[in-house]
């Protein structure tokens, strides 16, 4: 029952999306980059933990925002990429 409530809240907030591995495939990056983008606040991570198991979803809206940033600036964060001086 707790999982259903968690997932209903994720859907209500519009924060549903794929697993971290599937998110990496969507962005065309390594799985470790997903963790770094979550740590930097670029991607939204939703986790449901129960006993020794957990389910992680990366919001589709944050993935779309990261893709748009990459197309516009060349960087997932939305800040222009700096080249060597």
* Higher per-residue confidence, 22 vs 14: 22
- Residue 13 predicted with pLDDT over 80: yes
What confidence tens digit (pLDDT) does each residue in 31-44 have?
Answer: 999 999 999 999 99
* pLDDT tier for residue 16 given thresholds of 50, 70 and 90: confident
CA distance 6 to 15: 11
Residue 77 backbone dihedrals phi, psi, to 5 degrees: -80, -20
CA atoms within 13 A on the CB side of 14: 4
* pLDDT tier for residue 51 given thresholds of 50, 70 and 90: confident
* Higher per-residue confidence, 72 vs 78: 72
Q: pTM here?
A: 0.80
CA distance 54 to 82: 37
Tokens of 9: 């809240």
CA distance 9 to 4: 9
């Amino acid at each position: 029952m707790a999982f259903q409530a968690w997932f209903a809240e994720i859907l209500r907030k519009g924060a549903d999306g794929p697993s971290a591995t599937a998110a990496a495939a969507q962005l065309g990056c390594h799985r470790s980059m997903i963790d770094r983008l979550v740590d930097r606040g670029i991607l939204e991570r939703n986790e449901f933990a129960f006993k020794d198991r957990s389910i992680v979803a990366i919001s589709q809206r944050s993935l779309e925002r990261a893709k748009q940033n990459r197309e516009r600036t060349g960087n997932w964060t939305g800040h222009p990429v700096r080249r060597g001086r």
